[in-house]
Amino acid sequence: MIKKTWAKWQSGHIGRLLGESFRNQGWLYGIAMIAMVVVAATTAGTAWMMENIVNAMTEPEMRGQVYLIAAAVLALFFGKAAASYVQAVFLARAGNRIIAVQQERLYAKLIKRGVGFFSKNESSSLLMRVTQGAQAARRLVDVIVTSFVRDLLTLIGLVFVMIYQQPLLSVLFFIVGPVALISVRFLLKQVRSIMKSEMKSLSEIYKVLQETSGGITIIKVFSLEDHMAGRMNNAVRSVEKRANSIAKLQSIASPLMEFLAGLAIAAILVISTIGFAGSEPTTAGQLMSFITALLMAYEPAKRLSKMRVVIETTLVPIDMMFSLLDEEEPMRESPDAKPLAPGPGEIRLRDLNFGYAGKPNVISDMNLTFQAGKTTALVGQSGGGKSTIFGLIMRFYDPDSGAVEIDGQDLQGATFESLRQKISYVGQETFLFSASIMENLRFARPDATDDEVVEAARAAHAHEFICKMEYGYDTQVGENGAFLSGGQKQRLAIARAILRKSEILLLDEATSALDAESETLVKTALEKLTENVTTIVIAHRLSTVLEADKIVVIQEGAVIEEGNLDTLIENDGMFRQLFDKQFRQPAS
């Protein structure tokens, strides 16, 4: 049975976690385990010494050994205290390292995932896996190490003392022990299912908090405070209910053990008083040593009986953690990937086909060239595939068939680093880190000097509003730029792109959050930025793309028109219809 259980552990997440932890923190656990052995030995030694202590106090012929026995007792307790301190310190260090290692691994796994992964997985679920999974990993290793080293060895030592001092009375202990373990076993089946439900409720709590932080304006405008409070209350009560259920299951073991221990002690007192037929006479010291060992065995026995319940409560978050770590990465760099060669930045989509799950034909047989150093505008109705083209160029996704090439090199054979260095991007939804303005701008090029950062901000017409702030470039922008207006955030994003100085520039509604005055200023900055840069612009407002070298009309994943402004207006096609809708003056 033990072999089968251990084989199951080794083949599952428990064995994997223990193996990784002992390989990485083996010396820490080694010192902690040596200290645990000392704790177990001194605990058993304390029970053993009770015979000499009582006999020295009750038998005149042993009075001369009082000082020696007192010194031995002092040494035992000092050794146990020192070992307990060493065990606690090194076990904590090893446990903290487990949390740190697992969280580092989880984040390293997350940061390498494609954009599609984050659109399919809620941030609250990912947050719970990183935090709860790592904590559960530490808790699991701690309980297994302490149970199998300190508690088991302590129990074995105390049982040895009991058997040595009172072999017949020890039989009662071997009756009580199995009864207690069998009584706890039936609780384990319910724990895992309760824990799975608790993880879902915890995820809901994280989700409500994130939605409250990100959508507080909408919540206030539409008076959703009561609705959100109701969601949070339901989630909190659900966690509370399941936590109470688990606490109830965990708590049954302690009173059960206490009752059985009391029953055993009462029986021992009666039997030791009556005596056994033909048994050897029992000294007061032997009986006290036996009772001390029995009482001291209660705590390690209780912890061992609850070990399985604790393990079951940790397995659900650990399973979730490992499922994330083991998930295949759809976007991988080719083993023989090469850096993109220096070049003007011509982009070509060749026989390109791509689709998402449930939407297979987002891009269909597309052949399109974006000339180096020129500006190409992508226009068309929403959902036509324009943003998907950007995602494929930045290699957030790989095409189902066909290729995306830069200067003739297929992106699937290029290194991610060289591709990212070649591209700057300004999106419709500007993201800023919770840092200073200077730090946010320098993320585009960490080696940029302060003068270069200021120059980029001037070019994006952001320098003036930055200087008006209390701390200038050292001003903190808040979570995702919460302390800035939409136009200010957009100009910082454009300054970031200017600072990067890449050969390719992708603009997705880059001026959508600007007022008319700011838009005019930024357009002037963009004209300088796009000189001799391969620029692709997505815009629904045609006023932002009229001066593009080429305009491409995208509809349902296909190119239906392309050419300059004059050509497309003369063709009287889809672009002409869009143009007339936006620029045709209403009849007076």
In 3D space, the residue among 230, 248, 237 whose CA is nearest the CA of residue 202 turns out to be: 237
* Whole-number Cα distances in Å, 331 to 113, 117, 121, 395, 401: 7, 10, 16, 8, 15
Identical fold for domains 9-326 and 347-583, yes or no, is: no
The phi and psi torsions of 133 (rounded to 5 degrees) equal -65, -45
Closest CA to 456 of 402, 511, 497, 502: 497
Place of tokens 């889809």: 574
Give every residue of the chain whose pLDDT is below 70, as ranges. 1-11, 63, 172-202, 213-214, 217-218, 220-222, 246, 249-282, 330, 358, 512-515, 518, 522, 525, 528, 584-588
Using alpha carbons only, how large is the chain's radius of gyration in Å? Answer: 36
Architecture of domain 347-583: 3-Layer(aba) Sandwich (3.40)
**Contact (CB, 8 A) for 397 and 480:** no
147, two tokens:
């149970």
What pLDDT was estimated at residue 31?
A: 92
Q: CA dist 282 to 46, 161, 279, Å?
A: 19, 15, 9
At 484, phi and psi to the nearest 5?
Answer: -115, 160
Task: Count H helices and E strands in the chain, helices first.
Answer: 20, 10
What are phi and psi for residue 282, nearest 5 degrees?
-105, 130
- Long-range contacts of residues 158-164, Cβ cutoff 8 Å, at least 24 apart: 158/43, 158/44, 158/47, 158/293, 158/294, 158/296, 158/297, 158/300, 159/293, 159/297, 160/44, 161/44, 161/47, 161/48, 161/289, 161/290, 161/293, 162/290, 162/293, 162/294, 162/297
pLDDT on residue 355? 85
DSSP code at position 88? H
How many other CB atoms are found less than 10 A from the CB of residue 41?
A: 17
Tokens of 229: 């409070």
**What does the pLDDT read at residue 512?**
66
Find all residues with CB under 8 Å of 406, minimum gap 6, and list them.
340, 343, 345, 346, 347, 348, 414, 419, 422, 504
What are the contacts of 575-579 at 24+ separation with CB within 8 A?
575/379, 575/551, 578/379, 578/542, 578/553, 579/542
Q: What angle do CA 428, 430, 434 make, to 5 degrees?
A: 170
**With contact defined as beta carbons under 8 Å apart, do 412 and 588 qualify?**
no
**Residue 195 in contact with residue 139, Cβ under 8 Å?**
no
**CATH code at 9-326:** 1.20.1560.10
Sheet with strand 534-538: strands edge to edge: 423-426, 504-508, 534-538, 375-379, 550-555, 558-563
Helix (H) or strand (E) holding 558: strand 558-563
Q: Judging by beta carbons within 10 Å of its beta carbon (0-12, 13-18, 19+), is residue 552 exposed, middle or buried? A: buried
Residues 422, 342 contacting (CB under 8 angstroms): no
> Rounded to an integer, what distance in angstroms lies between the CA atom of residue 212 and that of residue 70?
64
CA 531 to chain centre: 42
Q: What is the distance between the alpha carbons of residues 336 and 113, in angstroms, rounded to a whole number?
A: 20
> What pLDDT was estimated at residue 3?
46
Residue 438, pLDDT score: 93
Q: Are 513 and 486 in contact (CB under 8 A)?
A: yes
Domain map (residue ranges) of the chain:
9-326, 347-583
Q: In what order do the strands lie in the sheet with 347-356?
A: 359-370, 347-356, 401-406, 409-410
Q: Report which residue type is found at 6.
A: W
What is the rounded distance in angstroms from the CA atom of residue 121 to the CA atom of residue 113? Answer: 11
Reported residue count of the chain is: 588
pLDDT at 47: 85
